[in-house]
Amino acid sequence: MTVRGHALTVRAFGATHTGRVRAGNEDSYLVGNDIFAVADGMGGHQAGEIASDAALEPLRELDIPGMSDPAEVGEALATAVRQANTLVVERAQADPALEGMGTTLTAIAVREGQLHVAHVGDSRAYLLRQNEKMSQLTTDHTLVDRLIQGGRASRDEAGTHPE
């Protein structure tokens, strides 16, 4: 999928893989016309898969082309992320087998040549521009990253930190 608007071109591709350690895949992704997202589920068995898929539901319903104000797009994206949290929590509370499930969520909305990013957790968003180094747009929401931000741990120490 390629979106062109003003000076912005977005090329999005989606795929998941179980990796080398786990037997199941708990990831979900969304490649839409204006919305792109990845959710990395956790919780074991199928709970992570249910959490990651539920988190994408509010994003699938966004009507970005109907919005003209950039602030409206940003607020709609933030609202969808809050709704995603509510859905995951409600489903976990309704079914004891899903207790403890959760997911990360990183979402991007593209409108009028602007990129809007929302994220929760440690699934990162990066920006890659032609002839430039890739830059990380998001900061992980983890204990170790908070220690680094607070100056209580270094990036080198983070690689071997028990958390």
49-102 pLDDT, tens digit each: 999 999 999 999 998 888 878 889 999 999 999 999 999 999 999 999 898 899
Complete DSSP assignment for 21-52? T-SS--EEEEE-SSEEEEEEEESSTTHHHHHH
Which element (helix H / strand E) includes 94?
A: helix 70-94
What pLDDT, on the 0 to 100 scale, is given for residue 8? Answer: 67
- The token pair that represents 21 in the structure block: 């350690």
Half-sphere exposure of 105 (CA within 13 A, CB side): 29
**Rg, Å, the chain Cα set:** 17
